[in-house]
Every structure is written in C-alpha cells, then in structure tokens.
Amino acid sequence: MSFYSELSVKTLCIGVLLFSSTFIASASSSIPDPEPSTGWQDKEAVRAGRFMAVTAHPLATRAAYQLLKAGGNAADAAVTAQLVLNLVEPQSSGIGGGAFMLYWDAVNKKLFSFDGRETAPDAANADYFKDSTGELIKWREARLGPRAVGVPGTLSLLHTVHQRFGERPWSELFAPAITLSREGFAVSPRMAKSIEGSKEYLNRFPATREYFFTDQGDPLPEGYRLTNPNFAQTLELIAEQGISPFYEGSIGKKLIQTLQEASGRPALMTMQDLNRYRTLSRPPICARYHDNAICGMGPPSSGALTVGQILQLIERFEVARMGFDPKSIHLVMEASRLAFADRARYMADSDFVEVPVSGLLDRDYLRGRSQLIRLSNSMGKASAGNPPGATIAHAAMQQFEPAGTSHFSIVDAQGNIVSMTTTIESGFGSMLMTQGFLLNNEMTDFSFRASKAGRPIANRVEGSKRPRSSMAPTIVFDRSGVPTLVVGSPGGSRIICYVAQALIGILDWQMNPQQAAAMPHFCNRNGTTDIESHTGAERFSAALTDMGHEVRIRNLNSGLHLIQRLPSGELLGGADPRREGLVLGD
C-alpha cells in the first residue's frame, strides 16, 4: 500500500523557507533526436469556464475531455489520458516508465506531490555501468536493452492517486485506450518521424521490429492504421484486477521474462523488485517568486529546486520591465548557471543522499549567490555554492539526459488540478517491448560514475534508489493560496529551462499560456547558452556573445502544456506549437 502526506497551501513549508505574506562525453552525436519536431503548428489560446485538459496528443485530450464532461474528476482524467498517451505517443511515456504528479485537492485546499519514479533493482551497485574489464560502458550502449530498465512506477502512481481521489470506477477509465488498441488509430506525424529516427535501434529487438515496422520492413508511415491487441489484453487485465498483475502476477512475470531473454547486458531486476515498488507521497517544494508560490516536485526530481533557484536569483532584477530581450535572457542564463551548478552537486534521491532542500532555497543564500550575476558580463562556468545544511561534500557531476517525456495539465469542474510529467526516458526507452508497451531506460539517468576526485557523486547508482530527474510539473499559487497556473514540459534537463521561462513569460511579461508556450527558447545548463533556431531569437546571438556567452543555435523541442485560471475564474489553456498537443475545455 502507498503512504500519503497532506500539505495545506497556506502552510506550505520546506524546513525554514516557504511562501508567506512577509555526456557525459561518451554520449554519441549519432544518436537521433528521440523527440523530433514535426513543424510549427500555429495554435490559439483556448478559453473555458468549468474544466480543461491539455495533453500531447489530440486523442488523449479528447478522452480526458469526455471523461471530465461525463462528471469524472482530474484524477480520473489523468488515468485515462496516460493510458491513451501510452498507445498513441509510445515513444514518450507509458506504464513501462515513471512519472511525477502534483495534485491539488480543491475541497480540502491541500497540495499533494506523488513520486512514481522508477527505481534501481535492489542488486544494483556502483559497478552497474562497468563492463567485464571494469571500464565504464558508452551511454549509447547502456540505454539499449535489459540492463537499462528501472522498476516501472507510472501504473502504481495512477492507482495510488485514483484510490485516494478518483470518483469514477477504475475499469471505466481504461475503456478509451482499450477501444483504440483494438480498433486502431492513425500514426501521427511525430510518431512516424520518431520511428524513422530510431529505426536502427527499434529493429534490433523482435517485438519492437514487429510492432513499429510494416510487413515489408519499413518504418510505419504517417497515417498508418495501427492496432495493439497485446496492449488491449494487458489493459483489460489491469482494469479488471487492479495493478497486482503488473507488480505481483502474470504481467510482471512476463516483463521479467522479457528482460531475461533479451539480448544485451543482463538485467538485475527480479519479481521481488516489482513486488516492493511503492508510489511515495513527498512534501511539495515551493519557492517564493514575487507574490506567488511556485510549487513542484522535490527530490529525486531536481525540477522544483532548480526552477525555484532560477526565479529567486533573478527576482532582484527588473526582468518584467526589460521584457524579452538580450539583457533579460542574459540574467536568466546566469541564474541558470548557478542553479545547475548546485543541481549537479547536491540533488539526488533524498532517501539515499542528504539533500539540503531548505538551504538550496534559503533567501539569504540565494541573495548572496545572486550577487555573482553581473548585468552585462557572463560569469562563465559557475561553481556550486555552500547552502545551509550541506553537510557532505559531493562531487559535481553533469550527465547526458535525452529529451524524451510528456506532460499534461488538467483542471476539473470542482477545481481539482493535475500537473503530471511522465516518461520512459529516451525516445522508445530501452527499445524493449513486452505485452504491448515499451520499457524505460531510466537507469541511464544515474551517474555512470560513483565518485570523482575521491568524493561521492550524489546521483550514483545504489540498490532501490530512484535516479535524479529534471521533470518539473508545477502549480503556481497567488498570495491568497489560490492556484492560478498549471505548467510542465518534456525536454530532458532542459525541462527546467522551459518551465522557468514559461513562468517568467506569464508572471513577468504578461503573456497568455499560448504565447508562453510559443516563446522562443533559451537555455543554459552551466555551459553553452542555447538559443532556439528558426524562431527569430537568433538575432540575440551577437549581443549575448558580446556579454561573454558561448552561444549555440539549435533545436529546442519542448512540449509545454499550460492552464491559467484568470481572476474571473475563467480557464485559459495553451499547447506547445512544436508538438501535436490539443487543449479542450467547457
């Protein structure tokens, strides 16, 4: 059974601070982008009066919308949306992966955060990524096959949240995904492009080769009518019997068998690892920004801490007055350098590593760190700070994090809210498929090295540990404790940049959710300053270079999905134009 803790938004706390009124080099460039852009889709902000859902695929949004319209709540709609996404956007998320969810209970005015992150097998240790000679293996080898797979948590999270908050029968929530699995759906442009980009790897394993290729051996084209009877059978069993077949019974046993029989480095996962998996309820992490509380997931996610640091580091500057220009971009990039430096040293699974959560968001600490930011010159590579409560000198470690994942935001007619970011890590995960769904490659989110220069790395592999994540599902509250904004995005470690930038766009630059989602991206993870190509933002390159930034123009493919509640109570939604998402509401 799962454990819960409750948190009132009016008394949100993380130790002493909260809102109140006073790769790695071995990552190969030959690996295709697992989440390719499929062209810009101009979209308008959507208005609604009672409820709204926005997901990465029209079929998932429509399924969630119909459930909300029939009287289901946000928890119910989240289950339905995830199951449909598993089918129609399999490269990004599913029951073979993990997720984080924020849930706002409107009746009791309490915020919950649920950790459905994958875990390492209990037998995993510091040698997990070493070959028979004791050398570290390459990332592109590590992400394929059975050794890459962590114990999945998404299904447990959905079940946990539904048991706690759901109103419609569990089995009813599976009907849309089961129907689509049996009757088929058209392969979308992004799914077709993803298959084409990963065909070399998908072709290595029999189940993925059979599912993602035509009888003639070609990658499935856009518009192809695809059915998944194996997934339908899996869902029917879970709909009828709950999650026990997955974590204790026949589905789990076949999952383990798939890992044992697959080619590649052997898996260490056992049925006991599946049996032991639990969704954890953790205290939400909230950071003050102007008159708002920016709330998200704490460790093992680095999302809320790093986003919170970025925002508080720039709070003393007049970013709102500057607007979207090179000066404001420079300030956000410098704050990002400092925040990512702390992230690399201190953030990991807090059940295994002492993470100075309160210290990382301490106002005095960040005020001092902010003084390192200069208005017209870049500091270059930043060093980690020494936040209050940091008792262990970990080694700083940055690592490759591919841009997979999906996010959806839901507000129901009662005012309950879901912000959920969900993943199988890289596009198509480990490339292994069992019973109609793909298995994650989340183990590669751990540091391959256990130590550096004689000091331990916080995100090293340990048995039953959860790898550090950048997923940043976020809910923003005003000074009265009223939720005003729901946001999140895929994008690997750049999730942090995308979410922070969207928050700045809405809270400082008075954008609506669609404008914030469409804004050109910029990101610095304590290295180069990345500017999104083909957006017009390239014009800022010269000014940023003059300020000392090493600028790189590149594709920055987010998947921001936002819902804003206006002072009138009306809902306003936006879907990222870089993807196929859809906003629906009444």
| Run of H or E including 60 | helix 58-69
Strands 529-532 and 551-554 turn out to be parallel
Is 469:100 a contact under the CB 8 Å cutoff? Answer: yes
3-state SS, one letter per residue, for 528-541: CEEEECCCCHHHHH
- Collapsing DSSP states into helix, strand and coil, what is residue 289? strand
Contacts (Cβ under 8 Å, ≥6 apart) of 454 = none
- Residue whose structure tokens are 């790093």: 306
The structure tokens 């309490």 sit at 110
- The DSSP-derived string for 216-247 is TSPBPPTT-EE--HHHHHHHHHHHHHTTHHHH
**Cα–Cα distance list, 476 to 293, 304, 482 (Å):** 6, 11, 8
* Peptide bond before residue 473 is cis, with ω within 30 degrees of 0: no
405 catalytic per annotation: yes
CB 341 within 8 A of CB 299: no
Active-site entry in 405, 421, 422, 529: 405
Nearest to 471 by CA among 155, 189, 180, 98: 98
* Contact indicator for 483, 430 with CB cutoff of 8 Å: no
Give first-to-last CA distance, the chain, whole Å.
Answer: 36
User: What's the rounded Cα separation, in Å, for the pair 151 and 449?
Assistant: 21
Return d(Cα 494, Cα 560) in angstroms, integer. 12
d(CA 102, CA 295): 9
Residue type, 404: G
DSSP per-residue string spanning 384-428: P---TT--S-PBP---------EEEEEE-TTS-EEEEEEE-SSTT
Active-site amino acid positions: 405
